[in-house]
Amino acid sequence: MSIENISSNKSFGGWNKQYTHRSAVLNCEMRFAIYLPPQASAGETVPALYWLSGLTCTDENFMQKSGAQRVAAELGIAIIAPDTSPRGDDVADDEAYDLGKGAGFYVNATQAPWNRHYQMYDYIVKELPELIEASFPVSGLRSISGHSMGGHGALTIALKNPLRYQSVSAFSPISNPLNCPWGQKAFTQYLGDAKAQWQQYDASELIRDARQFVPARIEQGNADQFLEEQLKPDTLTSAANVSGYPLELYSHDGYDHSYYFIASFIEDHLRFHAAHLKV
């Protein structure tokens, strides 16, 4: 599978780059960003953190706004930021911001017209890591993180694949999409009316039944405008208590849903992942 480099910027001794490639899974051209720390240029093979962004975002939001490169360079961790959905003129879309392009929800769609392209779960879990590990000095040690819709994606992917990831973290995740407007709208369109299918992509449902535990950390701002209606962290912690899942959830007064919040605590998350990636 070939990739094309479309931008390169040096950052804290490493390189922030963007690439495009043809995705067989998504049936379209895709773009991703990668931060390669200076250790990678020095010939070392480094572990990887996959970052999944939220609604309306692309591969650029995290790389440009989080300030993660400084600590990633110190720790020797590569960061991979994929896009949030398939893209292209022939890709199904919707006029609303919370469905279609920019709103893939990291699921494998089963319903037309979405199922032709919207196989984001398989792209994140299988195709993209295979491409990254074949193209860059990145090891098979992986962790995963994300924000909002991407926090939902990171949690569900790690919970469904506990042997693939060393750790998982999330900022302001959509924790119970079965019972929030964002999730209900997207799941109805992408997955149909069968709630059993929905449960396979709901972090609260998955963590309640978990038998293998991936180290998990969640950051939540108490001034988040979506806290009660959309995010529902209390549902997630209650479900974790049922299975005894060792979930770490940190609440912060005054912080909202923005990248100001992410930038404030991204260092804590990178050091959390570094401890489990053994770097």
Enumerate the active-site residues.
148, 224, 257
Task: Enumerate helices (H) and strands (E) in the chain, giving the number of each.
Answer: 11, 9
Burial of 160 (0-12, 13-18, 19+ CB in 10 A): middle
Query: In which residue are the tokens 């989080």 written?
Result: 66
Residue 17 CA: distances (Å) to CA of 31, 108, 113: 11, 27, 32
The dihedral through the CA atoms of 128, 134, 135, 136 has a sign that is: positive
Give the Cα separation of 210 and 162 in Å (integer). Answer: 9
Give the Cα separation of 91 and 261 in Å (integer). Answer: 32
Give the Cα separation of 81 and 60 in Å (integer). Answer: 8
One-letter amino acid at 156 equals T
